[in-house]
Amino acid sequence: MAQYSRVAGSVALITLQNPPVNALSAAVRQGIVDTVERALRDPEVNSVVICGQNGKFCGGADIKEFGRQMSGPPLVPMIHAIEAGHKPMVAAIEGVALGGGLELALGCHYRIAHSKARLGLPEVSLGLLPAAGGSQRLPRLIGVPAALDLITTGRHVTAAEALKLGIVDQVTDHNTVDVAVKFVQSVAGQSMDSRRLSTRPCPSLPNLDAVFEGVMQRVRQSARGAIAPVACVQAVRAAATLPYPQGMEREKELMGTLFTSGQARALQYCFFAQRAVGKWSLPSGARWDTSKAMPISKAAVIGLGTMGRGITVALAQTGVSVVAVDTQERQLAEAKQAVSGMLERMAQKRGSAPPLGLVHYSNNLQAAADADLVIEAVFEDMALKESVFQQLSAICKPGTFLCTNTSGLDVDRLASHTRRPELVVGMHFFAPAHVMKLLEVVCGPRSSPEAVATAMQLGKKMGKVSVAVGNCPGFVGNRMLKPYVEQANFLLEEGATPELVDQVLEDFGFAMGVFRMSDLSGLDVGWRIRKADKLTDPSVPAGQPVRVRQGRRYSPLADLICEQGRFGQKTGQGWYHYDKPGGRVARSDPWLHSFLEEYRARHGLVARHIDHQEVLERCLYVLINEGFRILDDGIAAGPEDIDAIYVFGYGWPRHRGGPMFYASMVGLARVLERLEHYHQAHPDVPHLQPCRLLRRLVASGSPPVQRWREVIKRLHSQL
Ligand code: NAI
C-alpha cells in the first residue's frame, strides 16, 4: 500500500506501507502508481516526496512474492512515470533503499538520505541484476567504475559514501521527510529535464573496451561459474555504449536469461535457508521460539591456538568481555600479540577504537570462574578435553555454559565429565574464527534448550550463521567431508592426480579443490585423528601399507605423505609443492607424481583414464549420500541446515544452493543411479551404498527439497 497525504500546502507525500521494510509488493506498486497519478493530476500539488513508513524507505522486491506468478503493475513503467513526471519528485531515504527500493529512488529527481541509511543493489546475490532500470540509471549517475563495483558485488553503502559517489544529493541528521519537503518546495516549478537520469549520457571513459575487458576478467574469476555478476557487467556495458531504450532492452534480455538459469533459484533458496536455520528445533521437541537464551556479557576462551585466538577476537568484536586462558606461557604471550594485532587491524578498517580493554589474559583456568559462558579450544585430544571439562565444572559459577570447539569429538562424553551436563553444548567455529560465517551448535542428548538457545543467540550476535546439529562423530560438516576426501584419495590410487581432482572441483565452483584445501588446513590434523582411530595400524610397517582397514577399502596415501613430513603449506610440501614453509602458491610436484606411480606399481594398480564426470560424481554424490544419512539419523533437522553449513563453512558454491539442493537439481533418481553404479564398481566402499532415505525419496517421486522434511517425518513415524 502507499498512503497519500498533502503537507505544507502544496506537497504530496507518498508513504510506502508494507512492514517490516516496505517491500515492493503488488499492492505497494499499485499504491505508488495510483498516488503518483493523483499527485500529478492534483492542481493544488506542485511537488512530491516519496518516503517509507517506520523509518525505512524501501527494502526492494517482496520476497514473499518470489517464485510466484507476477501480478500487479510492473516496476519499470512505474518508475518511468515518476521520472517523466512534470512535478519534482524527491525520495526521502531513511533506513534502507535496497534493490528495487534504490531503483525507485533513482527514478526520482532528487534523493535525500538520513545519515544512518544504507543503500545498495544486492540483486546479484540472489542471482539477478537490477532490472528496473537500475543497471542503466546508476552508471549514468555515478559513472561506470563505481556502478560496476556496486552492481557486481551487491555491496551496501552508507549514506556518507552514497553522497561521495553522487547517488544522493544531500545527507541529513534531522527528520529526512521534513528536510525533503522543505527542499522540494525550493525546486517546485523548475524544469526537471536535467534531473531525469534516463536522458543523461553515461559519463565518458577513455579506454572503455579495456576497462570492461579487465573488469570482466576479474568478475569471471571471482564469480567461479556464477552467471549473475557477468550479466551485471554486460548490462552496465549496455548503459555505457547504447542509448537508454536499447540499454533497457538489453537489461530485460539479460534478466530473462538469469531468471530461467536455475542459479537464481539456488541463490534464493540459500537466502531462505539462512533464515530457516535460525528457526531450529531438536528431536527432544525444544524449539527456537519456546527456548530462552541467556544474556552473555562475560565469556572465557580456553586454549589460545589458531581457533582460540579467532574466537576471542570475534567475541570482543561483539562487545563481550573475554578472559583468554592458555596454560603455556609462550602461547599466551604470542596469543596476546596476535589478538591485539587482529583487533587493531579490524578497528583501523572500521575507523573505530579497538576493544582491547575487553580482553584479559591468564595462564590459570581459575580465571574462568565467573564467566557466563566458556568456550574450550585446547588440542583435539579427548583425555585432555575431559580433564579441562572436569576442572571447569568445579571452578565455574553455577549456571556457566560450558562449550567446546571440538571439530568432531563426542560432546556428550565431555558433558558426562561435568556436574552440569545440561549446560554443555558444542560451539564449532571454523578457521579463521573471526572471519568464517559458520557456527555449528552441537546439541548433545542432555543439552538443555536454554543452553542451545544461548549458543545460537551468541553466534547470531557474533554475526555467524548458526546451525543447530546433533552429536555424532564429525557432526554434519566434517562427517560429510570424510567420504568426500576418501573418494579423492581413491581416485589418486586409480590414476587421477591432485591437479585433476582439484581442477574439476574448482570448475564446479568450490573456492578450493580437496587437495589444495587439505594442504591449507594441514595434513597432520587428519593423520593424528586416524592414528587415534587406530587406522594407521602400527602393525603395518611404514612404507608397506595395506589397502584395507577394518574390513573396508582404505587409502593410506595421506598417511604415507605425512610420514615424509609433508604436512601441506606449513611445511612447504604436501599434495603440492610451495616455495617455502608457509607459502601459499601451490605448484605441481614431480616428486608426488613419481610417488603415486611407485605406489600404484607396488600395489599392482594400473592407472586408468579418469574423466571429469567421474571425479565430480564420486566426490559430490558420496558427500550428498552422507547428507541423506545425516537427515535420516536426525543429526540435521532439514536439508536447509546441511546446505547452510556447506555454503557458509565449506566453500560450496552458493549459486549451486548447497549439496542437498544440488542433488534435487540433478535429480534424485540420477544421484541414486550413479551411486548404485559406483557402489557396484567399488563394493568395498560402504559410503557409496545409497542411503535408505535417498531410495525412499526417489520412491515417493523425488519431491522438491522443501518437502523432504515431511517424507523424513513419515519415514520416522513408521519405525
Ligand atoms: P592449536 O594447537 O592451535 O591450539 C591449542 C591451544 O590449546 C594451544 O595454545 C595450547 O597451549 C592450548 N592448551 C593445551 N592444553 C591446555 C590447557 N589444559 N589449558 C589451556 N590451554 C591449553 O589448536 P587449534 O587448531 O586452535 O584447535 C583447537 C580446537 O579447535 C581443537 O579441538 C580443534 O579440533 C578445533 N578446531 C580446529 C579447527 C582448525 O581449523 N584448526 C577448526 C575447528 C575446530
Read off the pLDDT of residues 362-410 as tens digits, 9 standing for 90 and up.
999 999 999 999 999 999 889 999 999 999 999 999 999 999 999 999 9
Q: Are residues 82 and 187 part of one domain?
A: yes
Most ligand 1 atoms within 8 A of CB, residue of 326, 392, 440, 476 to mutate: 326
CATH of the domain at 444: 3.40.50.720
CA–centroid distance, 326 to ligand 1, in Å, is: 10
Parent domain of 129: 2-235
Active site residues: 103, 123
What pLDDT, on a 0 to 100 scale, did the predictor assign at position 531?
84
State the helix-helix crossing angle for 514-521 and 477-494, rounded to 10 degrees.
Answer: 120
Q: Are residues 668 and 585 part of one domain?
A: no
What pLDDT, on a 0 to 100 scale, did the predictor assign at position 520?
92
Predicted ipTM > 0.95: yes
| 37 Cβ contact partners less than 8 Å away, ≥ 6 residues apart | 81
Paired with 360 in beta bridges are: 323
What pLDDT, on a 0 to 100 scale, did the predictor assign at position 544?
46
Tally of CA atoms within 13 A in the half-sphere of 336 that contains its CB: 13
Dist CA 654 CA 638 (whole Å): 18
Proportion of the chain in helix, strand, coil states, percent, rounded to 5: 50, 15, 35
Dist CA 573 CA 168 (whole Å): 52
Torsion angle defined by CA atoms of residues 174, 178, 180 and 184, in that order, rounded to the nearest 10 degrees: -140
pLDDT tens by residue, 241-281: 999 999 999 999 999 999 888 999 999 999 999 999 999 99
Report strand pairing: 424-429 vs 438-443: antiparallel
Q: Are residues 530 and 419 part of one domain?
A: no
486 domain-assigned: no
Output the average pLDDT for the chain: 95
Q: Do the beta carbons of residue 648 and residue 437 sit within 8 Å? A: yes
Average pLDDT (657-662) is 98
300 lines ligand 1 (CB under 6 A): no
For residue 436, how many other CB atoms are within 10 A of its CB?
A: 17
Helix (H/G/I), strand (E/B), else coil: 49: strand
Q: Is the peptide bond before 88 cis (omega within 30 degrees of 0)?
A: no
504 domain-assigned: yes
Q: Cα angle vertex 692, ends 686, 693, to 5°?
A: 125
What pLDDT, on a 0 to 100 scale, did the predictor assign at position 713?
87
250 domain-assigned: no
Dist CA 105 CA 159 (whole Å): 13
Most ligand 1 atoms within 8 A of CB, residue of 312, 330, 407, 438 to mutate: 407
CATH of the domain at 583: 1.10.1040.10
Of 569, 584, 602, which one is at a domain's C-terminal end? 602
Helix (H/G/I), strand (E/B), else coil: 561: helix
442 lines ligand 1 (CB under 6 A): no
Q: Are residues 152 and 55 part of one domain?
A: yes
326 lines ligand 1 (CB under 6 A): yes
pLDDT tens by residue, 524-554: 988 888 888 777 765 555 554 468 877 789 9
Which phi and psi angles does 281 have, rounded to 5°? -145, 150
Average pLDDT (302-328) is 97
Average pLDDT (456-471) is 97
| 383 Cβ contact partners less than 8 Å away, ≥ 6 residues apart | none
Could you give the number of structural domains in the chain? Answer: 4
160 domain-assigned: yes
Give the nearest ligand 1 atom to 328 CA.
Answer: 11
Helix spans in 277-398 (H): 306-317, 329-350, 382-395
Dist CA 99 CA 584 (whole Å): 38
Q: Are residues 553 and 411 part of one domain?
A: no
Q: Are residues 572 and 508 part of one domain?
A: yes
What pLDDT, on a 0 to 100 scale, did the predictor assign at position 260?
85
Paired with 3 in beta bridges are: 15
Is pLDDT at 86 greater than 80 in this prediction?
A: yes
pLDDT tens by residue, 37-72: 999 999 999 999 999 999 999 999 988 787 777 789
CATH of the domain at 11: 3.90.226.10
CA–centroid distance, 717 to ligand 1, in Å, is: 41
407 lines ligand 1 (CB under 6 A): yes
Strand blocks (E) in 357-408: 359-362, 373-376, 401-404
The dihedral of CA 126, 139, 220, 248: what is its sign? positive
Report strand pairing: 11-16 vs 2-7: antiparallel
Of 235, 250, 267, which one is at a domain's C-terminal end? 235
Q: Which residue has the cell 594407521?
A: 536
What pLDDT, on a 0 to 100 scale, did the predictor assign at position 35?
98
Q: Are residues 616 and 588 part of one domain?
A: no
Torsion angle defined by CA atoms of residues 231, 234, 236 and 240, in that order, rounded to the nearest 10 degrees: -170
338 lines ligand 1 (CB under 6 A): no
- Cell numbers for 68: 510466484
Q: Are residues 533 and 592 part of one domain?
A: yes
CA–centroid distance, 470 to ligand 1, in Å, is: 22
- Cell numbers for 348: 583501523
Q: Are residues 710 and 653 part of one domain?
A: yes
Q: Which residue has the cell 559514501?
A: 161
Q: Is the peptide bond before 20 cis (omega within 30 degrees of 0)?
A: yes
Q: Are residues 581 and 659 part of one domain?
A: no
pLDDT tens by residue, 498-531: 999 999 999 999 989 999 999 998 899 888 888 8
Give the nearest ligand 1 atom to 331 CA.
Answer: 9
pLDDT tens by residue, 566-595: 999 999 999 999 999 999 999 999 999 999
**Atom 39, ligand 1: which residue's CA is nearest?**
431
Region class of 623: left (phi > 0), else alpha (psi between -120 and 50), else beta: alpha
What pLDDT, on a 0 to 100 scale, did the predictor assign at position 175?
97
Give the nearest ligand 1 atom to 309 CA.
Answer: 26
Is pLDDT at 121 greater than 80 in this prediction?
A: yes
272 domain-assigned: no
368 lines ligand 1 (CB under 6 A): no
For residue 394, how many other CB atoms are within 10 A of its CB?
A: 11
Strand blocks (E) in 260-334: 298-302, 321-325
Q: Are residues 303 and 194 part of one domain?
A: no
What pLDDT, on a 0 to 100 scale, did the predictor assign at position 542?
52
282 domain-assigned: no
255 domain-assigned: no
Average pLDDT (603-621) is 96
Average pLDDT (674-693) is 96
Dist CA 479 CA 691 (whole Å): 15
Dist CA 270 CA 507 (whole Å): 20
Q: Are residues 87 and 163 part of one domain?
A: yes
Torsion angle defined by CA atoms of residues 333, 337, 343 and 346, in that order, rounded to the nearest 10 degrees: -150
**Atom 22, ligand 1: which residue's CA is nearest?**
303
Give the nearest ligand 1 atom to 308 CA.
Answer: 26
519 domain-assigned: yes
